[in-house]
Structure 1
């Protein structure tokens, strides 16, 4: 029936949109993030200068 054609295009659009969104959501949540350990505090070595005036 020709009058059903717009409904078929709408359903096709929703199907591709749902597939696209599902693909993007799964891609976003499937990434594994590696949490680095907190870096150790490194002290800055400054030589102690004894000024003699």
Structure 2
């Protein structure tokens, strides 16, 4: 039935959109990254060269 064509395309688009959103939320929630901060030494050595 040609009248049902747009409805099938609409359902297909909704289906792929939902899969896309679910995939992205899974990737976003499972992605753990560690921020690499440089270690700053607390001991300050002062070498005076006069």
TM-score, normalized by length of structure 1? 0.66
Cα RMSD of the aligned pairs, angstroms, is 2.3
SS of alignment partner, residue 3 of structure 1: helix
Query: Where does residue 29 of structure 2 map in the other structure?
Result: 29
1:44 maps onto 2:44 in alignment: yes
TM-score, normalized by length of structure 2? 0.69
CA–CA separation in structure 2 for the residues paired with 1:13 and 1:48: 72
Segments of 4+ in structure 1 off by > 2 A? 32-36
Count of matched residue pairs: 48
Which runs of no fewer than 5 residues in structure 1 stay unpaired? none
